[in-house]
């Protein structure tokens, strides 16, 4: 067993010799780890945590910590997870509550990215991906092979169906259909040039005027992007800033926001 001398491991914790506990980790008295688990550094494992084989916990992950529930009074609840999961930096996984069954469940082969929160009594299937900053309230169910995009809040008691994909930044307040692509509308526009920012960076009036003219053609006129670029070229592009703008647009592989 490899336990760094700065780690604090309770004497009753069960840690096989094949595990690695890195510097400044804290492992509570009721934690049981499977074979080949790794705690990179500054990891907190607490509560009645049962983790399968080959789970990897990255720095500042907190798993099995007390639920963020005002009704919780220190009951002996926990987290149970399968094997081969990756728990990235600053992930928080709360243990269950007595009112919700007492256990938060995580399957196997999941990728739980940085800053994700999994609330108490949630049930996460296997082969799931929870992207950076996904925020699951208590009692949420995520079925097998589902993906929850970055910065997605999920309301308590919602279910995410199998093989579904939720686009980043989508607020979930109802169940998500299995096999679906679900996303919030993305009506994002470029409204104008960043005049104040350019002036603060010392752009001359001539430079600002040239960029402003290009933006009027690109955004405010009735021309599409190709027509606007053609018009700029016909007028003769003398400004390096406008030339950079045109080159940027022409190299866009996913289109531009306008």
Catalytic residues: 120-121, 138
Q: The tokens 């990215």 sit on which residue?
A: 113
Neighbours of 175 (CB within 10 A): 14
Cite the beta strand spans of 35-101 per DSSP E: 38-39, 44-45, 48-51, 56-57, 62-65, 78-81, 86-87, 92-94
Measured between alpha carbons, how far is 237 from 250 in angstroms, rounded to an integer? 15
User: What Rg, from alpha-carbon coordinates, does the chain have?
Assistant: 25
Burial letters 69-85, b for 16+ CB under 10 A, else e: beebeebebbbbbbbbb
Between β-strands 159-160 and 62-65, what pairing exists: parallel, antiparallel or unpaired? unpaired
- CA 19 from centroid of its chain's CA atoms: 27
Measured between alpha carbons, how far is 139 from 113 in angstroms, rounded to an integer? 20
Residues in the chain: 258
CB 138, CB 158: distance < 8 Å:
no
Backbone angles phi, psi at 136, to 5 degrees: -105, 120
Sign of CA dihedral 225, 228, 229, 230: positive
3-state secondary structure at position 220: helix
């Amino acid at each position: 067993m490899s336990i760094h001398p700065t780690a604090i491991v309770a004497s009753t914790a069960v840690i096989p010799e094949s595990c690695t506990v890195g510097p400044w980790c804290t492992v509570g008295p009721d934690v049981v780890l499977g074979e080949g688990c790794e705690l990179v550094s500054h990891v907190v494992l607490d509560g009645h945590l049962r983790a399968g084989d080959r789970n990897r916990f990255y720095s500042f992950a907190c798993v099995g910590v007390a639920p963020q529930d005002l009704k919780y009074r220190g009951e002996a609840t926990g987290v149970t997870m399968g094997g081969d999961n990756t728990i990235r930096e600053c992930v928080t996984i709360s243990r269950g509550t007595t009112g919700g069954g007492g256990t938060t469940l995580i399957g196997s082969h999941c990728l739980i990215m940085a800053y994700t929160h999994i609330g108490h009594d949630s049930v996460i299937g296997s082969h799931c991906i929870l992207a950076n900053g996904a925020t699951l309230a208590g009692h949420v169910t995520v079925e097998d092979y589902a993906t929850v995009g970055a910065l997605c809040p999920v309301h308590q008691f919602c279910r995410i169906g199998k093989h579904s994909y939720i686009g980043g930044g989508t607020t979930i307040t109802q169940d998500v259909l299995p096999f679906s692509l679900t996303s919030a509308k993305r009506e994002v526009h470029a409204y104008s040039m960043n005049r104040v920012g350019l002036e603060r960076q010392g752009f001359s009036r001539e430079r600002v005027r040239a960029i402003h003219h290009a933006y009027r053609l690109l955004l405010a006129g009735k021309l599409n992007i190709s027509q606007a670029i053609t018009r700029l070229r016909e007028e003769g592009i003398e400004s390096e800033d406008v030339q950079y703008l045109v080159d940027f647009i022409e190299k866009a592989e996913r289109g531009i926001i306008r």
